[in-house]
Chain A
Amino acid sequence: MAPDVWEKVKDHPCYSEDAHHYFARMHVAVAPACNIQCHYCNRKYDCANESRPGVVSEKLTPKQALRKVITVANEVPQLSVLGIAGPGDACYDWRRTRDTFAGVSAQIPDIKLCLSTNGLALPDHIDEIADMNIDHVTITINMVDPAIGTAIYPWIFYNHRRWTGLDASKLLHERQMQGLEMLAARNILVKVNSVMIPGINDEHLVEVNKVVKAKGAFLHNVMPLISDPAHGTHYGLTGQRGPRAAELQALQDRLSDGAKLMRHCRQCRADAVGLLGEDRGQEFSLDRIEAAPAYDPAKRAAYRTIIAQERSEHMASTVRAGDALAGAAAPDILVAVASKGGGRINQHFGHAMEFLVFQAGAGGIRFIGHRKVEQYCRGGWGDGAALPAVLTALDGVAAVLCAKIGECPKQSLADAGIVACDNFAYEWIEAGVAGWYAATYQSDHKKIA
């Protein structure tokens, strides 16, 4: 990666897999208006317990958003990025997006600004985006063939009228491509999000990947469709299914050419706060924050100093772990890790709400994705009913590395053919994975990390 690009992404949890162990983002839900309808979205549905894009608990005015950002910056030292991801469209609801960013950058100049958009209104605001130093923009592009778009977008609102059918998808496609090219020409980093919809655009995303990369996208993020009748979306109500973990991974593997594919996306809410794997949004609802908080940069500055040191150790350890496995005469296997951030194996099995999955083998250690689970431990006792779902989520995984695990769940995992191991507690993730792999598959394993 070029040094100037690394400088832009190194603290951005969504643009750098490494950064997502250390840095947190927050979304402020200031942009509720949208100019298109997607079959995977239902705008009436707001719920505190749902975790998916487009969902929020409370909408904020730009002034309320500023209060919230300052409060979070004072209390969450990992905060590095402020994003606006709706719950509608940040570019269509531009005045509120712009006023929010302007207010926050005046108080917290070093916070990174990013926004996500469907692209339809994007070309209208490119110069302002560049002027405001918004150097990360995400465009959701689900097709580059309008015929496929007709199965995803029932209508768009553009130029004072509603367009449907092929006309709608043609217009949206043209504006998305135009916006992408304009951003790339201004050296603004573009992430393209694509929703993988089995039977509709799953095969087509190979083509999308080629086109958006050729036009200068920095990163492509293929996300699984979230579809449930209870969400009231068109796809949910008509039985359109989302992809299985293995299908998503197979498609991602076909697209993968190194750094340009994002695999650590958690599909967060439009009001999420915290590290990607957690959401502390409910701690910072309007009724819980001060009326006029003053920004105190001390905590964030102190955290950055510590993290710079930690990160260079982690990176060196990761390189050693990869070297140790290079050329191993053993199979490629998947290892799940329980981590609460910081790049270490530092979470109890029962506390994990997700596992990070790594592939280990002769090619080294590669992050593959995450698997969400129901928390097994409910404050002192194990929830036996949650275990079968955890086992299903860990399908295909050979081992689970965690900070600690009880005998009972350990036995259940063993019965399902999964080794649970807490010998590498609090080690760097890659070093622990390499250590476990070497101990298991290599009789004359080298000393690692």
Chain B
Amino acid sequence: MAYKIVASQCTVCGACEFECPNVAISLKRDMYVIDAKKCTECKDQFDKPQCAAVCPVPDTCIPLAA
């Protein structure tokens, strides 16, 4: 499973980009996106996905719908 960024709510601050331990987040056309192939949801790395823990806007880094 992987996380995604809700573009309409993202402030493009970039905190998620440098907290991501998997280098899965990058700026694409002025918007941060999560590469689902690299995202591990921080499983076995941290208690909580780092992007969601640092994001200043609630419910903006969320699980990709199954």
A residues adjacent to B (C-beta < 8 A): 32-35, 37, 43-44, 59, 88, 92-93, 95, 157, 160-162
Task: State whether A33 and B13 are in contact (beta carbons under 8 Å apart), knowing that A43-B56, A44-B57, A157-B54 are contacts in the complex.
Answer: yes
A-B contact count (CB 8 A): 43
B12 shortest CB reach to chain A, Å: 7
Asked whether B6 is an interface residue with its Cβ less than 8 Å from the other chain, the reply is no
CB contact between A43 and one of B18, B50, B57 (< 8 Å): that residue: B57
CA distance A406 to B54 in the complex (A): 55
Q: In angstroms, how far is the closest chain B Cβ from the Cβ of A266? A: 24
Known pairs A43-B57, A161-B53, A162-B54; A32 contacts B12 (CB<8 A): yes
Residues in B12-60 with C-beta less than 8 Å from chain A: 12-15, 18-19, 46-48, 50, 53-54, 56-57
B46 touches A160 (CB 8 A): yes
Expressed in whole angstroms, the Cα–Cα distance for A160 and B51 within the complex equals 10
A61 (CB) vs chain B CBs: closest residue: B27
| Interface positions of B (Cβ within 8 A of A) | 9, 11-15, 18-19, 46-48, 50, 53-54, 56-57
- Cβ contact of B11, chosen from A32, A157, A162, cutoff 8 A: A32
Q: How far is the CB of B59 from chain A (nearest CB, A)?
A: 13
User: Across the interface, which residues of B come within 8 angstroms of A35, CB to CB?
Assistant: 15, 54
**Cβ–Cβ < 8 Å partners of A92 in chain B:** 15
A168 to chain B, nearest CB (A): 12
**Interchain CA distance A33-B15 in the complex, whole Å:** 5
User: From A162, which residue of chain B is reached at the shortest CB distance?
Assistant: B53
A160 and B50: CB pair below 8 A?
yes
Chain B residues whose CB sits within 8 angstroms of the CB of A33 once the complex forms: 13-15, 18
Q: Which residue of chain B is the closest to A88 with respect to CB atoms?
A: B13
Hey, which chain A residues are within 8 Å of B12, CB to CB?
Answer: 32, 59
By beta carbon, the residue of chain A nearest B45 is A160
Q: What residue in chain A is nearest B60 (Cβ atoms)?
A: A44
| Distance in angstroms between the alpha carbons of A103 and B25 in the assembled complex | 26
Contact B48–A34 (Cβ < 8 Å): no
**Which 9 residue pairs of A and B lie closest in terms of their CB atoms, listed nearest first?**
A33-B15, A32-B13, A162-B53, A157-B54, A33-B13, A43-B56, A33-B14, A43-B11, A44-B11
Contact of B48 among A32, A44, A162 (CB under 8 A): A162
